[in-house]
């Protein structure tokens, strides 16, 4: 019997649609990325002050990925990701106050203090969670895609994972099913080069990660995840393909995490030089700032005003996360079963 | 003798076995180059080479499945699952393959693998980094389940586990790596160095599987505990002044029922303590066995002090944790005439 459908094209250059970016949208990207960065810096400080306990995985360096891709989402789409989830929640429009208050384990947090940094959700914003178990969110994303298709609501699921997660077996079960049933899912591998202390080269037999999609007849793309415009362009192409009912897309975004894996990370696995070079030459925020200056889209004054606005938002979130009360211990026994 | 904390003692066990038996191989996520999140495998790769101590991708199902095949063919795989909470993707391989191979091959094959995994709470890890899933494994015939409570035992038990011809699940209470945490979280944890159990021989020795230890002799009531809860139980006994006999099971399966029965027959009372959730926890099995074996000796009902039947919470860590106050209350209840 002939194969069900023709082999799908792959586009390993990604994001070459060449559409001229519009200045307003870019300013929006700049603000969103800066908000994530400042939010994460503040979270790091609160952790240092002992106000956040346990685990806390910062997204600093990777901002362009989620900001560029969420710009391609429509209301009604769903998002699911790993424990490195603060940036995704902010990019989905969740309230920084509620996110920060979950980090401090307070009643005002998105999970009312029961989830912590890795486990937050918002039905309103279509955010189906941070997930602490590496890879577990990927088949959940496949199921969300199935539900979008079944209900015929035109939505799709953005399912994010790391390069480390990309070696979990359930990812491949997912790709197979999504391709078999042409599910509307954009699988995004945020390749930040390391899964904890193990580099991609030491963990993955093939390092052009998106190409694994070929084995499942899934359209694959690879994009510079430090360039928000490239990510947005690639995202638009992917989303158009998915919404046309052609099936899932697997996209690798090559990016970099500046901070440690979680809050205690001796960073023996990489050199200071590597990190400094990335920051100096590929920082997604500096890069966009430069573009905006060249486009004469924003003046020095404008940048200052943006800085200040974002500082205020983050300050307010940090403030709220300390003012919000500790949850009532009775909450320990609620939300286990429906009643 | 050298003074070791529990992580160092476990390291020493693996070091010793790597040196003694060329079939021993150690692997898991970040265990090789980095030496493990809790440093239990520090320097072993440098010393014994990357062929024998190596990093794997994040793929728990694959890690333990591979260990089965390696073990069947004569190796002695020691796989680390970085946190006990990550073991679930590998349960199928443990339950359907590792545990059942001996039986279904009529005794011809077995999978002598050891799975090491840090378990338990106390580090604000929330629901995905704090669980105590031991009862799931004790429910599976064909597996052995071990939980040490101090450095000396940890090394000796791990050596026995590696040498054992059956699959062994070895949970390491992560709160005990650096010191004997007794549940008084408001006080600083004392380092192991202050305790005799940190005196650990450098070379080979073993502590047999299936043998409990009596860590505190007493005559009023028997407390059955394992892992972190051993220290909590001792602290509770001291708080109340009740003369409790505290038994550290060390191995859940095979269980040293004789030691438990002898003690309960002597005291006539029993409190069972574990951090894991209550319903279908290992305490339920213990309670049933004690009732079956000591019915005519019991002078009060058997008490269980356990974690609540909730996911491990982030914000309520110390409300969840069955600390010395809760154990003390149970001790007092059981002493009521
Ligand atoms: C099933 C499971 N195994 C292991 C872990 C421990 N762990 C947490 S993050 C991580 C590395 C994941 O790396 P990657 O997917 O690249 O994501 P990144 O942290 O780089 O965002 C590991 C091994 C876990 N949380 N869940
Ligand atoms: Mg990574």
Per-residue pLDDT of chain B (337 residues; tens, 9 = 90+): 899 999 999 999 999 999 999 999 999 999 999 999 999 999 999 999 999 999 999 999 999 999 999 999 999 999 999 999 999 999 999 999 999 999 999 999 999 999 999 999 988 899 999 999 999 999 999 999 999 999 999 999 999 999 999 999 999 999 999 999 999 999 998 999 999 999 999 999 999 999 999 999 999 999 999 999 999 999 999 999 999 999 999 999 999 999 999 999 999 999 999 999 999 999 999 999 999 999 999 999 999 999 999 999 888 899 999 999 999 999 999 999 8
Q: Which of B200, B230, B251 is the last residue before a domain boundary?
A: B200
pLDDT at A264: 86
Q: Evaluate whether residue B269 is within a structural domain.
A: yes
Q: Evaluate whether residue B261 is within a structural domain.
A: yes
pLDDT at B122: 86
Q: Are residues B44 and B113 in the same domain?
A: yes
Predicted interface score ipTM higher than 0.95: no
CATH code for the domain in which residue B242 is found: 3.40.50.920
Q: pLDDT at residue A18 above 60?
A: no
A262 C-alpha vs ligand 2 centroid, how far in Å? 12
Q: Are residues B53 and B174 in the same domain?
A: yes
Q: What is the pLDDT of residues A210-267, one digit of tens each?
A: 999 999 999 999 999 999 999 999 999 999 999 999 999 999 999 999 999 998 888 8
Ligand 1 neighbours by CB, cut-off 6 Å: A 84, 132-134, 162-165, 192, 194-196, 257, 261; B 29, 58, 60, 82, 86
Q: Evaluate whether residue B94 is within a structural domain.
A: yes
Q: Evaluate whether residue B46 is within a structural domain.
A: yes
Q: Are residues B236 and B175 in the same domain?
A: no
Q: Evaluate whether residue B205 is within a structural domain.
A: no
pLDDT at A13: 47
CATH 3.40.50.970 assigned to domain A27-312? The reply is: yes
Q: Evaluate whether residue B286 is within a structural domain.
A: yes
Between A54, A135, A168, which is nearest B314 by CB? A54
For the residues A55-80, what does the mean pLDDT come to?
98
Q: Quick one: pLDDT band at residue A7, thresholds 50, 70, 90? A: low
Q: Are residues B40 and B172 in the same domain?
A: yes
Say how many domains are in chain B.
Answer: 2
A165 C-alpha vs ligand 1 centroid, how far in Å? 6
Q: Which of B146, B170, B200 is the last residue before a domain boundary?
A: B200
* % of chain A with per-residue pLDDT over 90: 90
For the residues A61-89, what does the mean pLDDT come to?
98
pTM of the predicted model as reported, rounded to 2 decimal places: 0.94
Q: Evaluate whether residue B207 is within a structural domain.
A: no
Q: Are residues B221 and B195 in the same domain?
A: no
DSSP A7: P
Q: Chain A residue with minimal CA distance to B62?
A: A169
Q: Does A169 touch chain B (CB under 8 A)?
A: yes
Q: Which residues of A touch B125 (CB under 8 A)?
A: 54-55
Q: Are residues B143 and B284 in the same domain?
A: no
Q: Are residues B163 and B38 in the same domain?
A: yes
Q: Which of A84, A116, A133, A164 to mutate to test the pocket of ligand 1 (most atoms within 8 A of CB)?
A: A164
Q: Are residues B152 and B15 in the same domain?
A: yes
Structural domain span for residue B279: 213-335
B58–A167 CB contact, under 8 Å = yes
Interface of A with B in 232-251 (CB under 8 A): none
For the residues A105-126, what does the mean pLDDT come to?
96
Q: Are residues B103 and B23 in the same domain?
A: yes
Q: Are residues B58 and B187 in the same domain?
A: yes
Burial class (CB in 10 A: 0-12, 13-18, 19+), A7: exposed
Q: What is the pLDDT of residues A278-293, one digit of tens each?
A: 999 999 999 999 999 9
Q: Are residues B192 and B271 in the same domain?
A: no
Q: Are residues B167 and B247 in the same domain?
A: no
Atom of ligand 1 nearest to the CA of A257: 20
Distance from CA of B55 to the nearest CA of A (A): 8
């Amino acid at each position: 019997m002939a194969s069900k459908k023709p082999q799908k094209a792959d586009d390993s250059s990604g994001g070459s649609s060449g559409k001229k970016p519009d200045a307003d949208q870019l300013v929006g990207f700049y603000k969103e990325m800066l908000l994530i960065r400042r939010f994460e810096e503040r979270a790091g400080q609160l952790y240092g002050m002992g106000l956040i306990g346990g685990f806390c995985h910062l997204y600093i360096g990777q901002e362009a990925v989620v900001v560029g891709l969420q710009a391609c989402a429509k209301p009604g789409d769903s998002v699911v990701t790993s424990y490195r989830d603060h940036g995704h929640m902010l990019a989905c429009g969740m309230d920084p106050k509620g996110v920060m208050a979950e980090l401090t384990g307070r009643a005002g947090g998105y999970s009312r203090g029961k989830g912590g940094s890795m486990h937050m959700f918002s039905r309103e914003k279509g955010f189906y969670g941070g997930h602490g178990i590496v890879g577990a969110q990927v088949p959940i994303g496949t199921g969300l895609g199935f539900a979008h298709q079944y209900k015929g609501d035109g939505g799709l699921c953005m399912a994010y994972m790391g390069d480390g997660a990309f070696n979990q077996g359930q990812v491949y079960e997912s790709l197979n099913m999504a391709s078999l049933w042409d599910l509307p899912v954009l699988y995004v591998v945020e390749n930040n080069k390391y899964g904890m202390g193990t580099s991609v080269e030491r963990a993955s037999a093939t390092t052009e990660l998106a190409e694994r999609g070929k084995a499942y007849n899934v359209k694959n793309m690879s994009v510079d995840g430090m360039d928000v415009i490239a990510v947005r362009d690639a995202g638009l192409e992917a989303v158009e393909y998915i919404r046309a009912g052609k099936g899932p897309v697997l996209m690798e975004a090559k990016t970099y995490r500046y901070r440690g894996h979680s809050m205690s990370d001796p960073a023996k696995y990489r050199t200071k030089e590597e990190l400094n070079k990335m920051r100096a030459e590929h920082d997604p925020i500096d890069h966009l700032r430069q573009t905006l200056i060249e486009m004469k889209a924003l003046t020095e004054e404008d940048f200052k005003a943006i800085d200040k606005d974002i500082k205020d938002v983050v300050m307010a979130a940090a403030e709220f996360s300390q003012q919000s009360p500790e949850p009532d211990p009775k909450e320990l026994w609620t939300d286990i079963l429906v009643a | 003798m050298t003074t070791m904390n529990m992580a160092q003692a476990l390291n020493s066990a693996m070091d010793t076995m790597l040196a003694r038996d060329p079939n021993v191989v150690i692997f898991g996520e970040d265990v090789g180059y980095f030496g493990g999140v809790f440093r239990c495998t520090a320097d072993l790769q440098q010393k014994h080479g990357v062929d024998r101590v190596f990093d794997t991708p994040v793929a728990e199902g694959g890690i333990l499945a591979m260990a089965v095949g390696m073990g069947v063919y004569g190796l002695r795989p020691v796989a680390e699952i970085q946190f006990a909470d990550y073991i679930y993707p590998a349960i199928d391989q443990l339950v359907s393959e590792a545990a059942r191979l001996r039986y279904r091959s009529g005794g011809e094959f077995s999978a002598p693998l050891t799975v090491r995994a840090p378990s338990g709470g106390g580090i604000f890890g929330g629901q995905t980094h704090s669980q105590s899933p031991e009862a799931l494994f004790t429910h599976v015939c064909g597996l052995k389940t071990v939980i040490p409570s101090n450095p000396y035992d940890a090394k000796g038990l791990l050596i026995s586990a590696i040498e054992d011809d059956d699959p062994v699940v070895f949970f390491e209470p992560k709160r005990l790596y650096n010191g004997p945490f007794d549940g008084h979280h408001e006080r600083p944890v004392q380092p192991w160095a202050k305790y005799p159990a940190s005196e650990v021989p450098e070379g080979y020795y073993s502590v047999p599987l299936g043998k409990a230890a009596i860590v505190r002799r007493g005559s009023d009531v028997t407390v059955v505990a394992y892992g972190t809860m051993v220290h909590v139980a001792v602290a509770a006994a001291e708080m109340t002044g009740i003369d409790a006999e505290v038994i550290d099971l060390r191995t859940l399966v095979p269980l040293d029922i004789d030691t438990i029965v002898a003690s309960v027959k002597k005291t006539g009372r029993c409190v069972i303590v574990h951090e894991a959730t209550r319903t279908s926890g290992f305490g339920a099995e213990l309670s049933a066995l004690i009732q079956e074996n000591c019915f005519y000796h019991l002078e009060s009902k058997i008490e269980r002090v356990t974690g609540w039947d909730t996911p491990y919470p982030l914000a309520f860590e110390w409300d969840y944790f069955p600390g010395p106050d809760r154990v003390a209350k149970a001790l007092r209840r059981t002493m009521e005439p």
